[in-house]
Amino acid sequence: MADTPKRIGVLTSGGDAPGMNAAVRAVARTAINAGYEVIGFMRGYNGLVNSDYMVMNIRTVSDTIHRGGTLLYTARCEEFKTEQGVKKGASVCNDLNISGLVVIGGDGSFRGARDLTQYGIGCIGIPGTIDNDIGASQYSIGFDTAVNTVTEMVDKIRDTSQSHDRCTVVEVMGRRAGHIALHAGLATGATAVLVPEVKFDFERDIVKRIVNAAESGKKHFVIMVAEGVGGCGELAKAIQWRTGIESRASILGYVQRGGSPSARDRTMASRMGHHAVELLVNGQENRVVVYQNGTVTDFDMAQALEMHKPFDMDLYNICLEINS
């Protein structure tokens, strides 16, 4: 009788992020080289609870490192939020003889993985979200590409704003975090950056900065707003009413999740995927792979979910000082 193959599962969950394919590729190839079969679950936890999967090989992940999106697709699964759904997912893992599951996604995806561990399924999380809001990690896959995308688009918006002596209020993604807005705001020279982490005063932080810049000769303006602040349409109207400067709102939307991942996202995803499999091969489970102080390392999953990501106030203050 043939030996039962050793298997590692992998899935992508939640919002897609550029670099997820690079992470899946690294997981698959590292595991195969270590003598494991790799099971790729389709559409996140939906594929897990419905036993929708494919057996992956070296060629399955060929020509994917440069592609945006995720070859395994992704979705949110309401069924998996129930105890019955988690039990069903654990049963599928047991039926397929999966010794460990790698989950690529955000904090919601990690909570699902934590629930699976309570039924004996060893899980490893890899942070994959453009929001860069995973508390345990200084970096998450997709963030660099998203900031680059926003920067490129705002540079184009600036061209038309300059042509019309206009103020443009740009809303970017980030959920309840302002990391994309901060980094893209600094990179594009935004006159003001509004983030959920810092309370703002309309007169002091927007009107005064626009008026002061206008008095020094500036004729066009960009106001960067994180979606956690929201209301960019009303803000544009208020700016025009208060300053007399023609103002428009622009919500960049889902384009921020797309595109070919940057070199940084490809390399970070590859490092994290490799590390995740090494943990499983060495018998370590229920960990989250993170980037801390220049090193790819890992934390206990329960501990990681309790950690809060600090907002970079030093960078925010630099932005206030040099952007006008």
Give pLDDT tens digits for 222-269.
999 999 998 999 999 999 999 999 999 999 999 999 999 999 999 999
Predicted pLDDT at 242? 97
Give pLDDT tens digits for 28-38.
999 999 999 99
Pick the catalytic residue from 16, 107, 131, 133: 131
**Hey, CA dihedral for 55, 60, 65, 67, is it positive or negative?**
negative
Give pLDDT tens digits for 87-114.
999 999 999 999 999 999 999 999 999 9
CATH 1.10.101.10 is right for the domain spanning 7-142+261-306: no
Give the containing element (helix H, strand E) for 109. Answer: helix 107-117
**pLDDT mean across residues, the chain:** 95
Predicted pLDDT at 1? 41
Quick check: 39 pLDDT over 90?
yes
For the chain, what are the domain ranges?
7-142+261-306, 143-258
Predicted pLDDT at 3? 62
Cα 232 to Cα 159: distance, rounded to the nearest angstrom: 20
CA dihedral (215, 217, 223, 224) in degrees, to 10, reads -130
Over residues 124-139, mean pLDDT: 97
Over residues 206-218, mean pLDDT: 94
Quick check: 2 pLDDT over 80?
no
Predicted pLDDT at 5? 75
Per the structure block, which two tokens stand in for 135? 């508390």
Over residues 127-138, mean pLDDT: 97
Predicted pLDDT at 103? 98
Minimum mean pLDDT range among 1-15, 165-179, 211-225, 265-279: 1-15
Rounded percentage of the chain residues whose pLDDT exceeds 70: 99
Minimum mean pLDDT range among 46-55, 59-68, 74-83, 281-290: 74-83
7-142+261-306 and 143-258: identical CATH topology:
yes
CATH number of this structure's domain 143-258, picked from the four choices 3.20.20.70, 3.40.50.460, 3.90.420.10, 1.10.287.110: 3.40.50.460
Phi-psi label, residue 309: left if phi above 0, alpha if psi -120 to 50, beta otherwise: beta
Predicted pLDDT at 4? 66
pTM score of the predicted model:
0.95
Per the structure block, which two tokens stand in for 234? 């009303």
* 312 flagged as catalytic: no
Would you say 19 and 27 are in contact if contact means Cβ atoms under 8 Å apart?
A: no
- As to burial, measured by CB atoms within 10 angstroms (0-12 exposed, 13-18 middle, 19+ buried), residue 146 is buried
Greatest alpha-carbon pair distance for the chain in Å reads 84
Over residues 288-300, mean pLDDT: 97
Predicted pLDDT at 230? 83
